Structure 1
Amino acid sequence: MNIRVLNKNETLPLDLLLLADPSEKLVREYVSRGQCYILENDGVVIGTYVLIVTRPETVEIVNVAVNEDYHGNGFGKQLVLHAIEMAKQQGYKTIEIGTGNSGVIQLALYQKCGFRMTSIDRDFFLRHYDEQIFENGIQVIDMVRLSQDL
């Protein structure tokens, strides 16, 4: 397993990014502003995350995704912990992440990685997505925001 920056000449792992965010338009927009990292297994990309600078000394993980065939093996946690380490190495003081109100697995993962809930962006997914999104049988409406001091 190897986590590394996606080079500019490499193909964006759009299929993986769309697992975590169904809007191709939004994904392409924030990837263009950030840095995409990939998790490879024997040369095959099985996971990804994107970091973007949001404010001075603050960076946000805006997408974390693992190929569904590899779920439950700790790769999501590896990606989040790698993102935290990259943020520290790059001198950021705070790292943030957000997930939908129905993302119970994600909320547990992020808290296990040291994040704390900071706020709720009410109606975020209603404002930014044309189609309704459902996860775990619950409509995704609000963005739960979490952060961690580095």
Structure 2
Amino acid sequence: MFIRKLKIDEEPPIDLLLLADPSRVIVEEYLQRGECFVAESDNQLIGVYVLLPTRPETVELVNIAIIETQQGKGLGKQLVMNAIEMAKLKGFRTIEVGTGNSSIGQLALYQKCGFRIVSVDTDFFTRHYPEEIFENGIQCRDMIRLSQDL
């Protein structure tokens, strides 16, 4: 897998980004302010992540997705680790990520990659998303915030 920054003249992979965040409006908003990185294998786009500076010395991993046919192969962990390294190279001192309370696999993944749970934004998804979101048979209501010092 080869990971690179999205070129200025390239269209971001919206369909792939929408796998991780169902709001096109929110995705397009953070794409304008953040940096998008894509993962390719055999000339096929298989993954994406977006880094968004949020405060001095702090960056947030606001989206990370792998195409469905390639999920469960450890590629998500490679993308997270690449995002951490990219954040270090860019001089950030902290990287943050948020995920839904119902995102059991993602919560495990982020903790395996060194993130620690730091807070819960109660009712984030019910406040910011018009449609109810269900995952793993659980309604996604709260944003679980995780952080890692770099």
Using structure 1 for the length normalisation, give the TM-score: 0.99
**Helix, strand or coil for the counterpart of 2:11?**
coil
Structure 2 residue ranges without an equivalent (≥5): none
Q: 1: distance between equivalents of 2:8 and 2:22? A: 23
1:74 Cα offset (Å): 0.6
**Helix, strand or coil for the counterpart of 1:48?**
strand
Name the residue aligned to 1:64.
64
Name the residue aligned to 2:55.
55
Q: 2: distance between equivalents of 1:43 and 1:37? A: 15
Over 4 Å off, 4+ runs: none
Q: Deviations over 1:58-92 (max 9, x none)?
A: 00000000000001111100000000000001110
After superposition, residues 12-23 of structure 1 pair within 5 angstroms as: 12-23=12-23
Alpha-carbon RMSD across the aligned residues, in angstroms, is 0.5
**Helix, strand or coil for the counterpart of 1:108?**
helix
Structure 1 residue ranges without an equivalent (≥5): none
- Does residue 81 (structure 1) correspond to residue 81 (structure 2)? The answer is yes
Q: 2: distance between equivalents of 1:97 and 1:7? A: 24
Q: 2: distance between equivalents of 1:123 and 1:7? A: 36
1:135 Cα offset (Å): 0.5
**Helix, strand or coil for the counterpart of 2:18?**
helix
Q: 1: distance between equivalents of 2:38 and 2:23? A: 19
Q: 2: distance between equivalents of 1:4 and 1:94? A: 21
After superposition, residues 69-148 of structure 1 pair within 5 angstroms as: 69-148=69-148
Q: Which amino acid in 2 is paired with 1:80?
A: V
**Helix, strand or coil for the counterpart of 1:107?**
helix
Percent of aligned pairs with the same amino acid: 64
